[in-house]
């Protein structure tokens, strides 16, 4: 009897605690849930992630992200290895992964001068290049019509000064190739959102070139829905003002703005070294790889602050931004461990190589502190 009385006395406390636990569980939100009203939060997937090789990594991806881009496997050299042969084995798996997990699927990329199959780089004839573009774009976009939500139709067509890059496409077809690429993609899937994607296109000279390029595509009758700013950024640059000016300038053209490959390097850059010859071999140099074991707290804090100011800006302009995609899930996977110097240890993302959220993650989440 005494025991029952005791239990009755404790009952309100037990109920309170259990409600609180449920509420807490509800509050354990993710990036994608925190930002679901503003924009998609995406990540780039490598082959192992598409094939769900690592269960811990897989559950992190599903929990945190609602948009995916293939880091490499949809590039020309992989999907179109020879003139009469397409290989969709991996891209089919990538699409299935996105569909199964109800994710926004972004296609990267149709027309890019890099990672071309060797046979493509050999095309010199105008008619042959026209035929290639038609076949390549129509085949790939039609195959995934209604499945791929948006495409990087043309990637990195600009030089840093805003002029057009002398690629195999420009050299054969002139600037008309840009208009044609967008027309062909729109014809193959009128509902997919079509993007032009580049790096450093937030910088004034390249931005101006990018704006001219967008106008050219529109004037030529191409359908273009958005611009992708890759956002391979540094701790100190670009400035928030420069990024903001770009969001405003691109959206003033009636385009959606997506941040498509976000990461922030914390390592020294060979181009910043006075008199450094970038062709010099820096591999194995301790000076160029200062944090091989652990990121010092002071830099961890800087990275977290940098991410916070960037996401603050993204929130301010949420109505203009369609998607923010990180270029990789965790630090261990980042291309920045091997570029511009091979074999370094970089820390550019929100999760460390053991999949633990970093201070930068907490900062990005804090901006959306969801008290229910």
Q: Which residues are catalytic?
A: 261
How far apart, in whole angstroms, are the C-alpha atoms of residue 235 and residue 264? 6
Tokens of 49: 């992630």
Pick the closest to residue 367 from 102, 13, 29 (CA basis).
Answer: 29
- The residue among 177 and 199 lying less far from ligand G3I, judged by its C-beta, is 199
CA–CA separation, 350 and 357 (whole Å): 6
Number of residues that bind ligand G3I (CB under 6 A): 8
Q: Measured from the CB atom, is 72 or 285 closer to ligand G3I? A: 72
Minimum Å distance from CB 306 to ligand G3I?
A: 19
Q: Does 234 bind ligand G3I (CB under 6 A)?
A: no
Report helix angle 204-219 to 176-188, nearest 10: 60
Question: Which two structure tokens, joined as six digits, stand for 146?
Answer: 């209604």
Counting contacts by CB under 6 A, is residue 335 touching ligand G3I? yes
Kindly state the smallest distance separating residue 174's Cβ from ligand G3I, in Å. Answer: 24
- Residue 49 or 363: the one with the smaller Cβ distance to ligand G3I is 49
Can you tell me the distance from the alpha carbon of 124 to that of 169, in angstroms, rounded to the nearest whole number?
A: 9
Q: Confirm if 165 and 210 have CB atoms less than 8 A apart.
A: no
Site for ligand G3I in 174-203 (CB under 6 A): 199
Q: How far is the CB of 156 from ligand G3I (least distance, A)?
A: 7
**CB 316, CB 323: distance < 8 Å:** no
Distance CA 349, CA 305 (A): 13
Among 33, 38, 51, 72, binds ligand G3I (CB under 6 A): 72
Could you tell me where the DSSP H helices lie in 105-199?
118-121, 126-143, 168-173, 176-188
Q: Are 334 and 348 in contact, with CB atoms under 8 Å apart?
A: yes
Considering the complex, what minimum distance in angstroms separates the CB of residue 199 from ligand G3I?
A: 6
- Give which of 324, 258, 310 is closest to 42, Cα–Cα: 324
List the one residue from 20, 48, 82, 114 that touches ligand G3I (CB under 6 A): 114
- Residue 363, phi then psi, degrees to nearest 5: -65, -40
Binding status of residue 309 toward ligand G3I by CB under 6 A: no
Rule CB under 6 A: choose which of 71, 180, 189, 331 binds ligand G3I.
71
d(CA 321, CA 318): 5
From 230, 289, 300, 325, residue interacting with ligand G3I (rule: CB under 6 A): 230
Closest approach, Cβ 262 to ligand G3I, in A, equals: 11
Among 30, 54, 115, 285, contact with ligand G3I (rule: CB under 6 A): 115
**How far apart are CB 55 and ligand G3I at their closest, in Å?**
22
Q: CA torsion, points 162, 334, 69, 359, in degrees to nearest 10?
A: -100
Cβ neighbours, 10 Å, residue 343? 11
One residue of 189, 261, 331, 352 binding ligand G3I per CB under 6 A: 261
Q: How far is the CB of 261 from ligand G3I (least distance, A)?
A: 5
- Which residues of this chain interact with ligand G3I, rule CB under 6 A? 71-72, 114-115, 199, 230, 261, 335
């Amino acid at each position: 009897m005494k025991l029952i009385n005791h239990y009755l006395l404790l009952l309100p406390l037990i109920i309170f605690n259990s409600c609180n636990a449920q509420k807490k569980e509800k509050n354990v939100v993710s990036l994608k849930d925190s930002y679901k009203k503003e924009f998609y939060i995406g990540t780039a997937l490598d082959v192992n992630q598409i094939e769900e090789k690592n269960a811990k990594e897989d559950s992190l991806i599903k929990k945190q992200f609602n948009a995916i881009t293939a880091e490499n496997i949809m590039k020309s050299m992989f999907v179109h290895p020879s003139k009469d042969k397409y290989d969709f084995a991996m891209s089919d798996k990538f699409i299935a992964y996105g569909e199964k997990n109800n994710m926004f699927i972004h296609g990267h990329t149709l027309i890019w001068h890099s990672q071309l199959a060797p046979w493509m780089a050999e095309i010199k004839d105008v008619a042959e290049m026209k035929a290639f573009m038609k076949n390549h774009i129509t085949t790939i976009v039609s195959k995934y019509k209604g499945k791929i939500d948006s495409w990087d139709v043309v990637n990195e067509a600009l030089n840093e000064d805003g002029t057009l890059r002398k690629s195999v496409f420009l050299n054969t077809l002139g600037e008309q190739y840009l208009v044609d690429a967008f027309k062909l993609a729109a014809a193959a899937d009128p509902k997919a959102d079509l993007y032009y994607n580049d790096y450093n296109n937030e910088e004034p000279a390249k931005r101006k070139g990018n704006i001219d390029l967008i106008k050219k595509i529109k004037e030529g009758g191409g359908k273009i829905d958005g611009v992708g700013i890759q956002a391979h950024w540094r701790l100190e640059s670009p400035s928030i003002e420069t990024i903001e000016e770009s969001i405003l300038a691109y959206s003033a053209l009636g385009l959606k703005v997506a941040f498509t490959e976000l990461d922030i390097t914390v390592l020294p850059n060979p181009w910043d070294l006075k008199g450094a010859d970038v062709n010099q071999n820096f591999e194995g140099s301790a000076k160029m790889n200062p944090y091989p074991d652990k990121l010092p707290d002071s830099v961890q804090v800087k990275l977290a602050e940098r991410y916070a100011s960037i996401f603050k800006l993204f929130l301010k302009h949420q109505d203009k931004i369609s998607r923010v995609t990180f270029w990789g899930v965790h630090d261990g996977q980042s291309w920045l461990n091997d570029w511009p110097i091979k074999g370094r240890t970089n820390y550019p993302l929100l999760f460390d190589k053991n999949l633990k959220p970093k201070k930068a993650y907490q900062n990005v989440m804090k901006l959306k502190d969801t008290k229910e």
